[in-house]
Structure 1
Amino acid sequence: MTSVHLQSFAPVHPPAVPGPPQLGLPWALAEAKAFHLAGLGVFARAERAEAKRRAEHDAPGYLAAEQARLHGIHGALTADAHQWWQSLVANDEATVCETVNYAFSDNPAAGCAVGVDGSVMSVVMRQHDIDSLPDQTPGVTSSGRPTLKTLTKRDRILWWLTATGSNVVATLKEGFSVAPGITAIDLAVITRMPDTQRLGFAAYGRWTRQAIETGPWRQAEDALRFLDLGQDVACAVSTTASGNLSSTIKPLDTSRLPGLQSLLDHAQDEAASVDATLAGLDGDLLANVPATHDAPAADHYRIHTFAEWRAAQTRSAAQPRVIDEQPILAAPAVLTPGQNLTLPDEAWEGLNIAFSFEGADADLTLFLTDAQGRVASDDDFVFYNQPSAADGAARLLGKRHDGTHTVERAAVHLAALPEHVQRMTIAINMDVDTGLTCGSLTYAELSIGYVSAAWTFQPPADPAIRAMVIAELYRHRSPEGRPVWKLRAVGQGWADGLDGLAKAHGVDVA
C-alpha cells in the first residue's frame, strides 16, 4: 500500500503495427484441396483427381487475393496508428483521456482523467477510506513473543497518508508516461470522511512533469514528498505547531476552486438525497473498466478461408463454409496418456484443434520442430504474440468464451508444413502473471479432428507444473514405407512454465 510509487513506467512510444502473417502457396493449396475434396469418398478416384486439379488452379488466385487484402489492412492500421499518435502528442482531449484511463484501469487506487486544458491534464483519484485499514499492527512483546499492537490515531493516519501519497505519485508518474504532451497534472483525491461517512476531497494540487520525473523515489517514506513537490497543494491531514500530524481528517474547502466545487454540486450521495456530495463518483471511478487489460485483442488479420474467397469470387448467395471452424461431425475417440495413432490422409488437409478449460487462464502454443524436438528458428514458435507460422500452415485462431468454458482454437495443415518440420508439439502454459499452476485448470480437454474423425484428451491437473505438452503430431513411416502423420497424447510438463517449455524446444527466450 505504501510502495506503489516505487514502480517505474516506461514512456509511451509511437505504435509499431505488426505485419500480417506470411502465407505461401502450399498453405493455399491445402486450403483449396480441403474445400474441393470435402464430401468425396476415398474411392471416388476420378472425382478426387478432378477436385485436386481445381484446387491447383484456384490456389494461386486465392493466395494473391489474401496477400493483397492483408496488405491493405496493414496499411489502414498503420495510418490509424499514426493518426492516433499525432492526436496523443497534440493533447487531443478525447485521445489523451482514453489512453490515460486505459493505463489507470489496473491501478490499486481508481483514477480517472477528466479533461485536458492545453498541456495540463485534470485527474480525479479515489483513495481507499481510512476505515478500511486495520487498527492493529503485528509486533512483539518485551519477551519476544508475537502480539498485536493497537495503532494510535496518529500512526493510523500516517499510514493512510503515506498510502495516499504513494498512489498519488504513482498516478502522476503513469499519467506523464503515457501522455507525452502533458507538462502538468491537476490532481484531486477523494475519500470517504471517517466522521460523516460522506465522500469529500482529501487533497488537491498541481504537479509538473519535471518535479515528478526528477524526484528521488527510493523508499516508502518518499511518498509523503508529494505534499512538498506540488503547487498550491492542500491536504485534509494538517500538521500541528509542534510538527506532528493531526489526529483527524477534515474535508477540504473547495469553494475557491470552481471546477472541484462543480463536481460536488452535481453529484448525489444517494438517489433520494437532496444533499450534494461526491458519492456519485464513488462507483464510477471504482468501476473504471478494470478488465480492460485482459480483453482479447481484435484479430485484424483473420485469414479468410478458401470458402469465403470463393463465395466472394462467384458472388454466391449460399452461406460460405468456414473450414477452420467447421464442426467436427464424428463422435470423438478418447485418448489416454501415451496412446498414439496414425492419422488418415484426409486429416493432412486440415486439422481443427481446440483447448477448452475453466478455473484459470492458459494459453495454447505450438512448436514446429525437427525430429529431436528443436525449432529451426524462433519463427517456428506459435504463441499469442506470433499467431502464425510456416506461411499460415499452423495458426492460432484466438480465444472465445463458450458459457463457463474458455476455448482457444488452432488450425493446422499438415500437408503444407515444410519438410524440415518433422514434429509439431501442442502445449499450454499458464498465465505467467497469476503464478497459478496447471492444477488450477478444471474441465480441461484437448480436441483434435476434422469432419470425419475426432479425438479428445484430458490432460492431468498437475499442481507441480505451469506448462505442459498435451499432444504431439509427428511424421512416421508405415510398415510399407509410406510417409504418415501420427498423433500422440502426452500430458507432461515443466515447473518453470513457459520459459522451461520454450527452452526445451530450442526457443531463445532471452
Structure 2
Amino acid sequence: MPDTQRLGFAAYGRWTRQAVEANPWRQPEDALQFLDIGQDVACAVATTASGNLSSTIKPLDTTRLPGLQSLLAHAQDDTAPSSNATLANLDGDLRSNIPAAPNTPVQDHYRIRSFAEWKNQTIPVQQPSPGTPAASAPTALAPGQNLVLPEEAGQGFHIAFTFAGADADLTLFLTDRERRVASDQDFVFYHQPSAAQGAARLLGKQKEGMHTVERAAVYLSALPERVQRMTVAVNMDVDSGLTCASLSYAELSMGCATASWTFQPPADPAIRATAVVELYRYTSADGRAVWKLRAVGQGWADGLDGLAKAHGVDVA
C-alpha cells in the first residue's frame, strides 16, 4: 500500500479461465475490465465524483470477506532457506529498501526472470513412491445416508451441480433447527447469490463439455450461530414448466480438502424441485461441535415456490 509500504489486499474475487481468455488485453486501460469479468469482486480502488480513479488506495477489510479471511488464517509462509521470495522477506523489502551493506544490491522480487533461470531455481517435483496410495474417488451417497464432515469442511465446503438435458438452478437455504429461514436474506438463489456476508454463495453456472455445471461455496465456520441447518436444493427453470424428468443427467458433487461425495437426485416426472442434501450442526458423543451431511432427495411438485415456502421464504 502506498501510504504504509506494507502488504495489503487491493482486490479480491474469482475469475474463470474462460472469462479471462475471452477478453482482449492490448491496452493498459483493458486492465480495468478484469474487475468486470470476475465473480464476487471487491476492490479497494474507488472512483471520484468526476468519474476518475481515486489516488487513495486503502486495503480491503478482510473481516468482511470470509473466503479471504479463511485463506489468510490457514496460509503458511515458506521460510525454507532455499526460498528467496517469502511473504516475510517481501514485506521487509517494501518497508525498507536500504541495503544491508554498502554496494549490496537490493533484491527485486518483481523483476522478470527468464524461463531458464526460473527452471534452474525450481525444485523438481518429487514423484510419489510405488507404495503411495492414489487420491480416493468420491463416495457415492444413498438416500437417507448421513455422515460427519471432516474438520476441514468448516474452512471450505464446495458444491457442484452437474446436469444436462434442460435448464436447472442450484439453491441454498440457511435455516434454524426447524428448517425455517430467519429472513428472506437467508435464501440463496440466482437473484440473490450470496448470504451471511458471503459465507454461503453461488459461484456461477457454465458449460463444461456436454454438461452444465453450477457451483457454490460454503464456509461453515463463518456461518452465524442462528444457522443450524443448510439445505442444498435444485429446481427446474421456473419459466420452462418442465419436471426433473427432463434432466438427462443430474449429479451433486460435494467436498472439502480431504474428502468428497456425490449424490444423484431422482429424475421424478412429478416434481420440479428437490432438496438434495442437508448440512446440520451436531454435538458428537465426546462433546465436540461438528457438522453432518445427510442425503435427502425430497421433491416438490410445485417447484421453487413450494420449496421456498417450505423453508419459510415469503414468495408473495
Tell me, yes or no, whether TM beats 0.5.
yes
Note the C-alpha offset of 1:27.
6.1
Q: Residues 62 and 68 of structure 2 are in contact (CA less than 8 Å); yes or no, is this contact kept in structure 1? A: no
- Quick check: 1:361 aligned with 2:167? yes
Residues 167-178 of structure 1 correspond to what in structure 2 (within 5 A)? none
Note the C-alpha offset of 1:28.
3.4
Note the C-alpha offset of 1:423.
0.4
Corresponding residue of 1:33: 70
Q: Residues 354 and 447 of structure 1 are in contact (CA less than 8 Å); yes or no, is this contact kept in structure 2? A: yes
Residues 29/438 of structure 1: CA separation in 2 closer, same or farther (3 Å cut): closer
- Quick check: 1:393 aligned with 2:199? yes
Q: Residues 447 and 456 of structure 1 are in contact (CA less than 8 Å); yes or no, is this contact kept in structure 2? A: yes
- Quick check: 1:430 aligned with 2:236? yes
AA of the residue aligned to 2:69:
A
Residues 478/34 of structure 1: CA separation in 2 closer, same or farther (3 Å cut): farther
Corresponding residue of 2:280: 474
- Quick check: 1:409 aligned with 2:215? yes
- Quick check: 1:461 aligned with 2:267? yes
Q: Residues 165 and 246 of structure 2 are in contact (CA less than 8 Å); yes or no, is this contact kept in structure 1? A: yes
Corresponding residue of 1:488: 294
Residues 430/339 of structure 1: CA separation in 2 closer, same or farther (3 Å cut): same
Corresponding residue of 2:124: none
CA distance in 1, matches of 2:178, 2:64: 24
Corresponding residue of 2:92: none
CA distance in 2, matches of 1:38, 1:331: 26
- Quick check: 1:348 aligned with 2:154? yes
What secondary structure, in the 3-state scheme, does the structure 2 residue paired with 1:433 have? coil
CA distance in 2, matches of 1:489, 1:346: 20
Residues 447/24 of structure 1: CA separation in 2 closer, same or farther (3 Å cut): farther
CA distance in 1, matches of 2:168, 2:66: 32
1:449-485 CA-partner distances (Å, limit 9, x unpaired): 1232100001110111001000011001001111100
What secondary structure, in the 3-state scheme, does the structure 1 residue paired with 2:154 have? helix
Residues 29/315 of structure 1: CA separation in 2 closer, same or farther (3 Å cut): farther
Note the C-alpha offset of 1:331.
1.9
Corresponding residue of 1:421: 227
Q: Residues 337 and 491 of structure 1 are in contact (CA less than 8 Å); yes or no, is this contact kept in structure 2? A: yes
Q: Tell me which moved more, 446-455 or 360-369.
A: 446-455
Residues 205-220 of structure 1 correspond to what in structure 2 (within 5 A)? none
Residues 36/363 of structure 1: CA separation in 2 closer, same or farther (3 Å cut): same
What secondary structure, in the 3-state scheme, does the structure 1 residue paired with 2:268 have? coil
Residues 504/38 of structure 1: CA separation in 2 closer, same or farther (3 Å cut): same
Residues 349/330 of structure 1: CA separation in 2 closer, same or farther (3 Å cut): farther
Q: Which has the higher helix share?
A: 1
Query: Which structure has the greater CA radius of gyration?
Result: 1
1:89-143 CA-partner distances (Å, limit 9, x unpaired): xxxxxxxxxxxxxxxxxxxxxxxxxxxxxxxxxxxxxxxxxxxxxxxxxxxxxxx
CA distance in 2, matches of 1:38, 1:332: 26
Q: Residues 330 and 451 of structure 1 are in contact (CA less than 8 Å); yes or no, is this contact kept in structure 2? A: no
1:405-427 CA-partner distances (Å, limit 9, x unpaired): 00000010000000100001000
Q: Residues 161 and 252 of structure 2 are in contact (CA less than 8 Å); yes or no, is this contact kept in structure 1? A: yes
What secondary structure, in the 3-state scheme, does the structure 2 residue paired with 1:379 have? helix
Note the C-alpha offset of 1:432.
1.5
Corresponding residue of 1:240: none
Q: Residues 390 and 418 of structure 1 are in contact (CA less than 8 Å); yes or no, is this contact kept in structure 2? A: yes
Corresponding residue of 2:190: 384
AA of the residue aligned to 1:385:
H
Note the C-alpha offset of 1:31.
3.6
Note the C-alpha offset of 1:316.
10
What secondary structure, in the 3-state scheme, does the structure 2 residue paired with 1:375 have? coil
What secondary structure, in the 3-state scheme, does the structure 1 residue paired with 2:305 have? helix
Residues 282-361 of structure 1 correspond to what in structure 2 (within 5 A)? 330-361=136-167
1:68-96 CA-partner distances (Å, limit 9, x unpaired): xxxxxxxxxxxxxxxxxxxxxxxxxxxxx
Note the C-alpha offset of 1:39.
8.7
Note the C-alpha offset of 1:24.
8.3
CA distance in 2, matches of 1:489, 1:391: 26
Structure 2: gaps of 5 or more residues:
1-39, 43-59, 78-86, 88-108, 113-134
How many residues of Structure 1 are paired with residues of Structure 2 in the alignment?
Answer: 209
What TM-score, normalized to structure 1? 0.38
AA of the residue aligned to 1:368:
L
- Match for residue 499 of structure 1 among 302, 305, 313: 305
Q: Which has the higher strand share?
A: 2
Residues 136-215 of structure 1 correspond to what in structure 2 (within 5 A)? none
CA distance in 2, matches of 1:334, 1:357: 16
Note the C-alpha offset of 1:32.
3.5
AA of the residue aligned to 1:28:
L
Residues 389/480 of structure 1: CA separation in 2 closer, same or farther (3 Å cut): same
Compute the RMSD of aligned alpha carbons. 2.8
| Larger relative contact order, structure 1 or 2 (CA cutoff 8 Å, min sep 6) | 2
Residues 454/26 of structure 1: CA separation in 2 closer, same or farther (3 Å cut): farther
